[in-house]
């Protein structure tokens, strides 16, 4: 692993790192903020998964999480959204290919060779974080935005024993029922929609996945709200399953990092309270 950048912020260290990934067969870049802490202390970890077109840099530069993480004593990890490189398959559209990994393990050519973001986020990168940083891997939370909100919900629902807290900003709650999801899951996984259900938060809940609670913030001026995000589908699934969903429709907010940064500290504090238990 190579550290490609580091800076002091709120008494902690913001670093950017690159390593060779066996999951994707490429170099992958991620950022980690480690708050100030006593020598030998182990700290809870909050994962943040980014949305379409993003890299680790979007939230690192614009997420405004460091003050809250320093106050709460939480490590903040921000991976990239897909494998990248000249030899990695890509697509001309913004919502497929590089920058749009959808946190799946692709099964279709040519994507299957590199697009194994589920394995990368669920297995490879956590092992690297545990070995390299003062992380208490028994206390992990996960959040994300848009496509990354989809990733946070589905990864959290598939791994309830690992992730003690799950939240999202404007998530794609049901890729089975929106154009972004149908394009991505069809392209990466093929036409069998039954194979998509493990990557759909509403379907996972319908199929028996259970967590105690979820927190979702959604802007009511989000241009993707009606056609792509459809938070009412998640509300219905959680109501039917008895999952405590806090769904906050924030008036006037759009899909941007202005929205995310406004509520980021609140999410960090929400996770901190649950990871302290």
The Cβ-side half-sphere exposure at 85, using a 13 Å CA radius, reads: 14
Query: Which ranges constitute the DSSP H helices of the chain?
Result: 56-62, 66-72, 117-119, 125-132, 147-158, 179-189, 201-206, 231-241, 257-275
255 as an active site residue: the answer is yes
Q: Per the residue annotation, which of 217, 222, 267, 271 is the catalytic one?
A: 222
Q: Per the residue annotation, which of 21, 31, 82, 146 is the catalytic one?
A: 146
Task: To the nearest 10°, report the CA torsion of 60, 61, 66, 68.
Answer: -100
Dihedral class, residue 109 (left if φ above 0, else alpha if ψ from -120 to 50, else beta): beta
Is the Cβ–Cβ distance between 53 and 96 less than 8 Å?
no
Phi, psi of 243 (to 5 degrees): -90, 130
146 as an active site residue: the answer is yes
Q: Per the residue annotation, which of 56, 255, 267, 271 is the catalytic one?
A: 255
**Could you tell me how many residues make up the chain?**
277
List the beta bridge partners of residue 29.
18
CA distances from 83 to 103, 114, 118 (A): 11, 7, 12
Is the Cβ–Cβ distance between 155 and 140 less than 8 Å?
no
* CB-count burial class (<10 Å; 0-12, 13-18, 19+) for 136: middle
19 as an active site residue: the answer is no
User: Which residue numbers are catalytic?
Assistant: 146, 222, 255
């Amino acid at each position: 692993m190579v550290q490609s950048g580091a800076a002091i912020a709120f008494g902690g260290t913001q670093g950017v790192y690159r390593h060779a990934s066996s999951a994707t067969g490429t170099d992958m870049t991620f950022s980690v903020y480690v708050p100030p802490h006593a020598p030998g202390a182990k700290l809870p970890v909050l994962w943040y998964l980014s949305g379409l077109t993003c890299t680790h840099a979007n939230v690192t530069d614009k997420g405004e999480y460091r003050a809250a993480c320093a106050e709460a004593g939480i490590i903040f990890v921000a991976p990239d959204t897909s494998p990248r490189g000249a030899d990695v398959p890509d697509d001309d559209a913004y919502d497929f290919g590089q920058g749009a990994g959808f946190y799946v393990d692709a099964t279709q050519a040519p994507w299957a060779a590199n697009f194994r973001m589920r394995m990368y986020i669920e297995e490879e990168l956590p092992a690297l974080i545990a070995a390299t940083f003062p992380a208490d891997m028994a206390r992990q939370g996960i959040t994300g935005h848009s496509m990354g909100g989809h990733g946070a919900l589905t990864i959290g629902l598939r791994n309830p024993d690992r992730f003690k807290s799950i939240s999202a900003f404007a998530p794609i709650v049901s890729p089975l029922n929106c154009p972004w999801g149908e394009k991505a899951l069809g392209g990466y996984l093929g036409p069998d929609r039954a194979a998509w259900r493990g990557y759909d938060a509403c379907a996972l809940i319908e199929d028996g996945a259970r967590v105690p609670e979820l927190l979702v913030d959604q802007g009511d001026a989000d241009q993707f709200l009606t056609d792509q995000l459809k938070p009412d589908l998640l509300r219905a699934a959680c109501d039917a399953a008895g999952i405590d969903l806090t769904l906050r429709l924030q008036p006037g907010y759009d899909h941007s990092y202005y929205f995310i940064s406004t509520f980021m500290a609140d999410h960090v504090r929400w996770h901190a309270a649950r990871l302290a238990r």
